[in-house]
Amino acid sequence: MGVALWSEIVILVAVALLLLLVALFHVAYLTYAERKIIARMQQRLGPNRVGPRGLLQPIADVLKLLHKEDIIPYGVDKPIFHLAPLVSLVCAASGLALIPLWDTFVLSNLNVGLLFLLALSSLSAYGVILSGWASNSRYAFLGALRASAQLISYEIAMSLALLSVVLMAGSFNLQDIVKAQMESPFKAYIIPQIIAFFIFMVSAIAETNRVPFDLPEAETELVAGYFVEYSGIRFALFYLAEYFGMVVMCALAVTCFLGGYIGPFNIPGLPFFWFLLKLYVLLFFYIWVRATLPRYRYDQLMGLGWKVLIPLGLLNLFFTALLKLWL
C-alpha cells in the first residue's frame, strides 16, 4: 500500500507542476496578446523589438522585473508584507486544479468543486486587504478598502449567477456540470442561462480588477492602490495573480456556460482543442472590453453591483427554479 500511495502522490505533484507550467506559459503570452491586440485596436504596432514580431517580450519583461531592486519601505509589517502577494497568487492560481480540462483529466474532482472555487475567490480578498494594511501607507490602505469592498460585493453577484447553473445541472461537481450540459437540449448553458452568463462575465471582470472596473489599480487617475508600495518581483506576483485570475475565471465560464471541453466533433490528437478555443475566445473578449470601454466611477460601480446585478441574479435564480420545477 505504501509504495502505491507514494507513487500516486508523486504523479499527482508532477501533473500539478505540469499544469502550473502550462498555465504560466499562457499567462505570459496573455500579457503579450493583450498588448498586441490593444495596439491593433488603437492603430499602433505594439511590442515588436524583442525577438520576431516581439514574441520574446514576456521573457524580457520577467527578466527585467526579476532584476529590479526589491524595495521594502520603512515601517512596514514585514511578515505580512511578504506574505500578501503570495496569498493573492496562490488563491488565484489554485482554482486551476478544480477545472475539468478533459473527461479524464481533472486534478481534483471534488463533489463541491464549484463551492471550492468560490471559497478561493473569497480568500483572494486577503491578498488585497493585507497588502494595503502591511504597507503602512495611506494610499495603499485606502486602495485596499476600495478594492476589498468591490471584491466582496461582486462576489455575491457571481455566486448567484453560478447558483443558477448549479440548479440547472443539479450538481456542484464541475465534471457533472459539463456532462449535464452535454445532455441538455442546447448543449451549453449559455443559451438558457444567457442572463447568468452576462452577470458572471461582468462580475468576473470586477473580481479580477480589470478595465472598466479597475478602480483598485486605476493608474491613470488615482494612485495605484493596494500594491503601490511593492516593487520588483513582489509587484510581478500581484501582476501574475491578476492574469491567473483572468485565466481561471474564463476557464470557469467555459466549464459552466460554454459546455467545457465538449465540442461539436472530436479532433483526434488534440484533446484540449475545444476547451482552449473557448478559453481564448473569452480571453479575447476580456481584452476587447479593456480596449473599448472607459472606466466606471466608484459609485457607479457599486450601484451596478448592488442595484442591477444582484437583483437580476436573484430574479434569474427564481425563474431558473420555476423552470426546473415545471419542465
Partner 1 sequence: MILEMIVFIYLSLGMIIPGILAIISKNPVHAVLWVLVLILHQAFMLFTLGSEFLTAVQIIVYAGAVIVLFLFVVYMINLKREEIWKVFVKKSPLGFVIFLIFIFFFLKSLTFLTALSPHFKAHLPYDLTQGTNLWWIARYLFTHFLFQFELVGVLLLVVVLGAVFLLRKLKEVEGGSL
Question: Which residues contact partner 1 (rule: CB under 8 A)?
Answer: 5, 77, 80, 110-112, 115-116, 118-119, 122-123, 125-126, 129-130, 133, 141, 145, 148, 152, 155, 172
In the bound state with partner 1, the residue whose beta carbon lies nearer, of 279 and 304, is 304
Question: What amino acid is encoded at 94 in this protein?
Answer: S
Question: In this structure, what C-alpha cell is assigned to residue 247?
Answer: 485565466
Using the structure block, give the residue that is written with the C-alpha cell 435564480: 317
Q: Least CB distance from residue 111 to partner 1, whole Å?
A: 5
In the bound state with partner 1, the residue whose beta carbon lies nearer, of 151 and 236, is 151
Please say whether the beta carbons of 289 and 212 come within 8 A. yes
In the bound state with partner 1, the residue whose beta carbon lies nearer, of 40 and 324, is 324
| Cα-based angle 127, 255, 244 (whole degrees, multiple of 5) | 30
Contacts 24+ apart (CB under 8 A), 175-178: 175/100, 175/103, 175/106, 175/109, 175/113, 177/114, 177/255, 177/256, 177/260, 178/100, 178/103, 178/255, 178/259, 178/260, 178/261, 178/262
Q: Least CB distance from residue 171 to partner 1, whole Å?
A: 9
CA distances from 64 to 57, 60, 61, 194, 248 (A): 11, 6, 5, 43, 26
In the bound state with partner 1, the residue whose beta carbon lies nearer, of 101 and 120, is 120
Dihedral, 303, 304, 307, 308 alpha carbons, nearest 10: 170
In the bound state with partner 1, the residue whose beta carbon lies nearer, of 129 and 246, is 129
In the bound state with partner 1, the residue whose beta carbon lies nearer, of 29 and 139, is 139
Q: Least CB distance from residue 273 to partner 1, whole Å?
A: 31
In the bound state with partner 1, the residue whose beta carbon lies nearer, of 75 and 294, is 75
Q: Least CB distance from residue 299 to partner 1, whole Å?
A: 9
In the bound state with partner 1, the residue whose beta carbon lies nearer, of 60 and 123, is 123
Q: Least CB distance from residue 124 to partner 1, whole Å?
A: 9
Q: Least CB distance from residue 174 to partner 1, whole Å?
A: 13
Q: Least CB distance from residue 326 to partner 1, whole Å?
A: 19
Q: Least CB distance from residue 145 to partner 1, whole Å?
A: 8
Q: Least CB distance from residue 256 to partner 1, whole Å?
A: 16
In the bound state with partner 1, the residue whose beta carbon lies nearer, of 79 and 269, is 79
